[in-house]
Structure 1
Amino acid sequence: MKLILVDDERVIADGLQKMISRYIPECEVIGVAYNGLEGFKLIQKRQPDIVITDIRMPQADGLEMIKMLKEAGCQTKFILLSGYADFEYARRGMQLGVQFYINKPVEELELRDCVCQLMEAIRAEKAKLQEVDDLKMEAHSRIQESALWDILDVGNDNTVQVEELLRGAGIPTEGYCFVCAQLEFDNHLGPLKEFGLDPVFRQVERALGRYGAVYRFRYSGSQVAVVVAHGEDIEYGELVLAVHRLKEAVFRELKLSMTVGIGTVQERAAGICKSFEEARYALSYKVIKGVDAVIPFPEIISLTKHRHPVPEEMIAKLEAGIDNMDEEGCVFTIREIFRWMEPESRMSPADLQLQCLNILLSSVRKMSFQQLEQNDFLGRNILSLEGISRFRTLERLEEWMVQIIREIITFKLEHNIPKKKDIIAEIKDYVSKHYDEPISLADLASRFFISPYYLSQLFKQKTGDTYINFLAQCRIGKAKELLERTDLKVYEICRKVGYSDTQHFARLFEKLTGFKPSEYRKYLPRA
């Protein structure tokens, strides 16, 4: 604890300094002043934890000095030193928040007891303030995480909405570059079940600490999303090396093996979703690159740019067969695709695997990772190397693909997923009933067995709007009803419609209605 002495008698000030040094070693005297005005200047400059001050001094007495410091916003704690047992001084001191007094002549034990009590009170106060700061930090972090979740779901063409979400969460945009990565842990975070993801997050922050800001959060299941924002150009090669170091540190410190997909650097905030989609796409190529690999998106582009992709109409035909659970039709289409591939039968095993990967990713692009993980066979063969990497001939790959498609259809039948259902109508109905819950696009994707990216695209295609906008309109519509029909306070309504941040709720309400929530209720027509 840092302490300053203020007394116009030098002998007393020197004696106090020696007592404190001898009997209260946890306190350090960082300055001495000999009148109230000098003490005022010294205390403002050095910002001590404790001040021991005489009352009667020239230029400004102790109480006047304390009053000036309080008015200046000083948070220091004071002990009054006086040879006068005058109630008026005590009363004025109490009005200024002073709780501790020592009478002259000062005794060592009384001084130590008084200072120790004050130190204990200061520590308790600092602990409470730290707890409040931690809660604020956690709340701010959750707001940022929620905003980034929304951005990943919004899509690349919603520049204004992306920038609004970032500003509302206090994430810088002007002059910043962004890049995303997706981490996937191959043992499903087993060692972290007890402690959560905090040890992984600390490793991420340590490895990528040179960048302006790093945001990390669980994306789904055993996957973590990372968004890097930097106020200067991001050198891509250095970033990839930093991610390699992260992967090694996570394995060394946490005994976790992970695969990483990295998107490209984007010069505008609206590119965050594009970079993340690239990262997710790169990660899917672990069946070619291997688990425990770092896979930058540009490497995938160079892998595929010289290949002839399977015609989209064949993929669409296969997708329609899966939608309708037409096993015979799907098997016929797989055979048709492989006959198309036969003229290129001199392709290397890696090329064959790559073509099959493209077919497979296209045919299951509507399915979520959670859905694939729920089926043991699909999880092993689609989300790991146990399937595709074993087969090095066209014939064996064809039979493996047929087996995979049959398993997908079996899975859909077992889970009673109806043919050609209007999934968007079901989702809208679900959201209208559960608007007060924290439902992200990824949560819905998992619930309705569809990939988040495909759901985002399909929702906009079917409704002409984004899922985020639809959810906001549902929530604000309900908020309007509550403002009209109840006496609930604005912060209570905010929580009842699914928002945790009252300021964000108020901004969104004003944007969609033209009124602040309090104004909306004020201008309601009276019956």
Structure 2
Amino acid sequence: MNILVVDDESVIRSGIERTIHRHFPEHRVVLAADPEEAVQLLKQEPIDLVLTDVLMPGMTGLELMEISRKIHTHVKWVVISAYSEFAYAKEAVRLGAKDYLLKPIGKETLIDMIRELGKEIEQENERNKEAQLLKRNLRFLREAVFARWASGLDLGGIDLAPFTENHPFFHLVMVRLESDSDTKLEHFIVENVFSELIESAGKGFVTSIDARSLLGLVTPSGEGGLNRLVDQLRSHLKRYLKTPFQILCSDRISDLAKVPAEVRRMRESSAFQVYDHYASGGEQAVEVALQYIRAHYSEELTLEKVASIVYLNPVYFSQLFKQKTGKGFKEYVTHLRLERAMELLRDSELKVGDISERVGYPDVRHFSQIFRKKTGFTPSEYRQHAGAGRSDASAEQTAKP
């Protein structure tokens, strides 16, 4: 039996591992310090039993269990916590946990539990091993073939019809993630949540078409089923993801030959669609962008150019920039340029045309129009007004006894 122990406290992980090795040397134990590591191990290892802590950074053990149980249906779960609130136990049971243990865990309690679950898992494995292997291989084959087709690649003579014969019509639903970091965990979350919702809304499947995009083929049951599925998907992903995302949908499709073109259209339209969710981070990207703007405000600056500097989609960068600064990109750059222009008008004798070029406006007439619109003065009027103000202040200072 392969046992995965998920706990952010190394003392707890090591203690459970020692106890199991001492009394059940035939069992293999793997350790994860957080849910993200657990996700990777569940994908890489043939895990039979998961012992998971409840409260951990990033994601709770119950959330890990909830998003994992559909794709890893054979895995048994035991929830461990130092908190005895009934709500945790109730939720663990609802999700199908075999047991709920409180820290510190007594050795005898742990030994008895491993012994009982070991027998149960051994019996189930004998019955289900071949069936699960066949089902899993067919699923991955179907998804891999469809992903290749959706991406416009040659299938090498494979007939796609048997893979989609239960879908005389369908919709495509694409989820695109936006992040400048690794999205393996987010990918896993989307795949599991999406698959579960499709199962409850009709029939279909989900496949990955690149590192940041997943595509669902959905045949909803009943009127309005697709809209309900998308609303639920958006709601769940906002809850679980820390990464911004988009959800794009196709019209009804009944001809498989149209899939590659529709996928291309969805990818292209994503560049102009707002994001369903903001990232909880992003401060670093915006700060880098602000530093670049302050250093290059005298040059031509576009939203697309600055977004490329921080490796973000322009639509998402625009939303994130306004969220973090309180101003739109163009508004922020204009404000910065005019502030600098006012400084130069007050404190230097440069000509207005020279100042215009220094703050990023090669056309002095355009500069004067923007300046007047924002301040109520032309640049010359502002300089005169600012100079008069300084003269009055100087005279007043001189007149003081």
TM-score for the superposition, normalised by structure 2: 0.38
Return the index of the structure with the highest Cα Rg. Answer: 1
TM-score for the superposition, normalised by structure 1: 0.30
